[in-house]
Amino acid sequence: MNASDTQQRHELKVDLVAVVAAVIDGDPRALTIRRGSALPAGPFELGHRSLQAGLRDWVEQQTGHPLGYIEQLYTFADRDRIAEEHARRAISISYLGLTRDEWSASQPPRDWQSWYGYFPWEDHRAGAPSIIADAILPHLKAWTEEAGGTAREERRQRIAIAFGVDDRPWNEELVLQRYELLYEAALVEEALRGRGEEHTPPVPGRPMIADHRRILATGIARLRTKIKYRPVVFELMPPVFTLLQLQRAVEALAGRLVHKQNFRRLIEQQELVEETGETTFETGGRPAKLFRFRPAVLMERTAAGTKLSVTRA
Amino acid sequence: MNASDTQQRHELKVDLVAVVAAVIDGDPRALTIRRGSALPAGPFELGHRSLQAGLRDWVEQQTGHPLGYIEQLYTFADRDRIAEEHARRAISISYLGLTRDEWSASQPPRDWQSWYGYFPWEDHRAGAPSIIADAILPHLKAWTEEAGGTAREERRQRIAIAFGVDDRPWNEELVLQRYELLYEAALVEEALRGRGEEHTPPVPGRPMIADHRRILATGIARLRTKIKYRPVVFELMPPVFTLLQLQRAVEALAGRLVHKQNFRRLIEQQELVEETGETTFETGGRPAKLFRFRPAVLMERTAAGTKLSVTRA
DNA sequence: CAACTTATACTCAGTCGTAGCATAAGGAGA
DNA sequence: TCTCCTTATGCTACGACTGAGTATAAGTTG
């Protein structure tokens, strides 16, 4: 009805937004601009050969970083979320990119920000962060009380699943669901904007412009899901590495520790890597064998079914 | 470079395209318009509250079918693929919708077309279709020969993975990869358009306008992947059903048969369904118990991790 | 040399996927 | 009515994989 009656211009602004991930100094990071307040982004223009090409252009232009592997994430267009930023309505097509931070001294340093500055509740490598029990759950509980009838039970249920309440396991993949819950409960800064209540949000975690933090959450969730069944960690690792370094990278992304022995067994039985024949003494204790990814794996990554399940520590 | 130099209008046409799936008479089908030649679609307009709302409007307007569950699929913008259809460049945001075909006699009949009319090579319920060995693989083999050097080996590899050559298993999820291979090898009608070579394509399978068949492939692939870890079949089933009916629906979607006993065990141990207490005699042999989905499952479907693995027959 | 760190090998129980055997309960035709 | 066919449903066995623990090897540091 409204679609056909309303005769308006059918043209819209289309933005490309990039979540570019790398593991640096044992931390999972995202490439940002404006001192961490935004993701690299720019409009899709007629000069771009494709969406991907446009995205690469913008990222390289804004950060100086060339992109390797990228994949599409999601297309957003919620009027509510963007209304305050742009008078006009816009569509954001988001992508996930994976790289290493291969900076040369001649390049300006890039603005890599740790994921967990934006999502402090997502890093469970040293156990569940205390802010979950101290700040998040109490506020969410209060939020369930606000609702009545079936809505209250539904909220309780969503919270229990997302944050692993009452003996439910923590599921590291539900990054977006958790952020959305906090947004709906108005516990993050983005939810308070333009409401005249610009007070400090009750839950720590750095905000971003527009819905960039939501897009970042989408990218993290996708990556956490994907490492389990596709060999994508490769894109984030240097050409040669030890198994523990690989494990630390996976742990950084997943935000949880894994069982070392089982991790190695998994890696080796999947035939993802091969020994280079050399060892490194830089790791502290007994020298570790160095590995590289098997070329066949790099080729098959499009379709091969590889599982790199994040087993518990 | 090109992005910043080219000062062009930053507005684009944005189309919404729907893959709406249902299982009717044991066949997986898609809701189409124009006698099966196109998917329901229309431009995203300023009057639409959201992308999803816009999509619902268009589908209902064009087919009379209201949509229940929908999820976003992918956003396409390849200039090559759409060039012939629209002079102007357009972006297509595609969605997957799941429904039952609850037609009332007063409504006009909807245009439900079987998936396998468009992708005859995807239905392995009665074994691998003969066209794979008879038509597809020979043509693809010829196509590998056209390439030289590493490209040839890469093509061979992709074909082997996608179609399950040399003892590799058939992977029903690779619907899109298979279609893309056939497209690249110019074995489907869409690839021949506007090239002046409008001859009959070498591989059977009904074409669609623009890149709608590619979008349909994307939707089928997504659904085949998703039934394995999320309880989405529900959306496609009537409120009450026998376990064999549920199995047949899964088989129709996956395009392959499953082991009956294991399927039942899986379903029951996941506690997805509960008995209604009644039985039906309409199935031929021994009367079958009737089941319904447990209400809790319908609620949790957003986040619950349910596996409905398609075990072999 | 002792204490500590990291690497790596091996074991074991529980779960899950695959597959086969067996029985129950209806209908159709001899 | 009896037999055969069809579908439904229960149960068992086995191998692969997962989660978690034990033990040993080979370095560095004080």
What is the domain-level CATH number for residue A19? Answer: 3.90.79.10
* Same domain assignment for residues B232 and B194: no
Mean pLDDT within A180-204: 86
**Given B55, B81, B115, which residue is the final one in a domain?**
B115
What amino acid is encoded at B44 in this protein? F
Contact A61 B302 (CB under 8 A): no
Mean pLDDT within A37-43: 97
CA distance B18 to B68: 12
* SS3 labels along A135-151: HHHHHHHHHHHHCCHHH
Of B45, B77, B305, the CB nearest to A3: B45
Structure confidence at residue A271 (pLDDT): 83
Q: Please indicate, yes or no, if residue A307 is contained in any of the structural domains.
A: no
**For B157, nearest residue in chain A (alpha carbons):** A300
* Same domain assignment for residues A16 and A84: yes
Domain with residue B234: its CATH number is 1.10.10.10
According to DSSP, the β-strands at A11-24 and A90-98 are parallel
> pLDDT tens, A62-91?
999 999 999 999 999 865 544 444 445 789
* Same domain assignment for residues A135 and A110: no
**Given A170, A204, A238, which residue is the final one in a domain?**
A204
Question: Hey, how many other C-beta atoms are within 10 angstroms of the C-beta on A169?
Answer: 8
Q: Comparing A19 with A12, which gets the higher pLDDT? A: A19
Contact B299 A154 (CB under 8 A): yes
Q: Measure CA to C1' and name the residue nearest C26.
A: B286
Mean pLDDT within A2-22: 70
* Same domain assignment for residues B240 and B272: yes
What is the residue-averaged pLDDT of chain A?
86
The residues in A 65-94 lying below 8 A from B, measured between CB atoms, are 72, 74-75, 77-79, 89, 91, 93
Fill in the DSSP letter of residue A234.
G
Q: Measure CA to C1' and name the residue nearest D26.
A: A286
The dihedral region occupied by B194, where left means phi > 0, alpha psi between -120 and 50, and beta the remainder, is: left
* Same domain assignment for residues A112 and A135: no
Contacts of A303 (CB under 8 A, 6+ apart): B158, B161, B162, B171, B174, B177
Which contiguous run of DSSP H or E holds residue A11? strand A11-24
Rounded to the nearest 10 degrees, the angle between the axes of helix B137-146 and helix B149-163 is 160
Structure confidence at residue A206 (pLDDT): 97
Nearest CA among A61, A4, A251, A277 for reference residue B3: A61
Q: Please indicate, yes or no, if residue B311 is contained in any of the structural domains.
A: no
* Same domain assignment for residues B279 and B195: no
Mean pLDDT within A86-103: 82
- In chain A, residues with a C-beta closer than 8 Å to the C-beta of B6 are 45-47
Fill in the DSSP letter of residue B51.
H
- Backbone φ and ψ for B260, nearest 5 degrees, come out as -60, -50
| Whether A150 contacts chain B with CB within 8 A | no
* Same domain assignment for residues A192 and A231: no
The owner of tokens 């794979």 is B132
The owner of tokens 């590899």 is B157
Structure confidence at residue B1 (pLDDT): 40
Question: Hey, how many other C-beta atoms are within 10 angstroms of the C-beta on A107?
Answer: 11
Query: pLDDT-based confidence at A200, cuts 50/70/90?
Result: confident
CA distance A238 to A102: 9
Contacts of A107 (CB under 8 A, 6+ apart): A64
Q: Please indicate, yes or no, if residue A270 is contained in any of the structural domains.
A: yes
CA distance A273 to A290: 10
pLDDT, tens digit only, all 313 positions of chain B: 444 433 344 567 899 999 999 999 889 999 999 999 999 999 998 788 889 999 999 999 999 999 999 999 999 986 554 444 444 578 999 999 999 977 666 666 789 999 999 999 999 998 899 999 999 999 999 999 999 888 898 899 889 989 988 878 888 999 999 999 999 999 999 998 876 666 777 899 999 999 999 999 999 999 999 888 888 888 899 999 999 999 999 999 999 999 999 999 888 888 888 899 888 877 677 888 999 988 777 666 554 444 555 655 6
* Same domain assignment for residues B142 and B184: yes
* Same domain assignment for residues A292 and A199: no
What amino acid is encoded at A87 in this protein? A
Q: Please indicate, yes or no, if residue A305 is contained in any of the structural domains.
A: no
The owner of tokens 């396409």 is B76
**Given A169, A204, A239, which residue is the final one in a domain?**
A204
Q: How big is chain B, counted in residues?
A: 313
Domain that holds residue A90: 2-116
Structure confidence at residue B119 (pLDDT): 98
Structure confidence at residue B305 (pLDDT): 45
pLDDT at A171 over 50: yes
**Bridge partners, residue B91, by sequence:** B14
* SS3 labels along B142-199: HHHHHCCHHHHHHHHHHHHHHHCCCCCCCCCCCHHHHHHHHHHCCCCHHHHCCCCCCC
The owner of tokens 């993975």 is B161
Structure-block tokens of residue A210: 């527009």
* Same domain assignment for residues A22 and A98: yes
Q: Please indicate, yes or no, if residue A177 is contained in any of the structural domains.
A: yes
Contact B3 A57 (CB under 8 A): yes
Contact A3 B154 (CB under 8 A): no
Q: Please indicate, yes or no, if residue B312 is contained in any of the structural domains.
A: no
* Same domain assignment for residues B111 and B124: no
What amino acid is encoded at A86 in this protein? H
Q: Please indicate, yes or no, if residue A137 is contained in any of the structural domains.
A: yes
- Backbone φ and ψ for A42, nearest 5 degrees, come out as -175, 165
Q: Please indicate, yes or no, if residue A75 is contained in any of the structural domains.
A: yes
Contacts of A229 (CB under 8 A, 6+ apart): A305, A306, A307, A308
Contact A12 B8 (CB under 8 A): no
Do the beta carbons of residue B308 and residue B233 sit within 8 Å? Answer: yes
Structure confidence at residue B223 (pLDDT): 95
Nearest CA among B83, B203, B56 for reference residue B143: B203
* Same domain assignment for residues B200 and B275: no
- In chain A, residues with a C-beta closer than 8 Å to the C-beta of B78 are 50
- Backbone φ and ψ for A71, nearest 5 degrees, come out as -145, 150
- Report the domain count for chain B: 3
Q: Which positions on chain D have an atom < 7 Å from some protein CB?
A: 5-12, 17-23, 25-28
b vs e for A190-203, b when ≥16 Cβ sit within 10 Å of the residue's Cβ?
A: bbbbeeeeeeebbb
> pLDDT tens, A279-308?
888 767 888 899 999 887 766 655 444 455
Rounded to 5°, angle at Cα A77 from B50 and A144: 75
- In chain A, residues with a C-beta closer than 8 Å to the C-beta of B172 are none
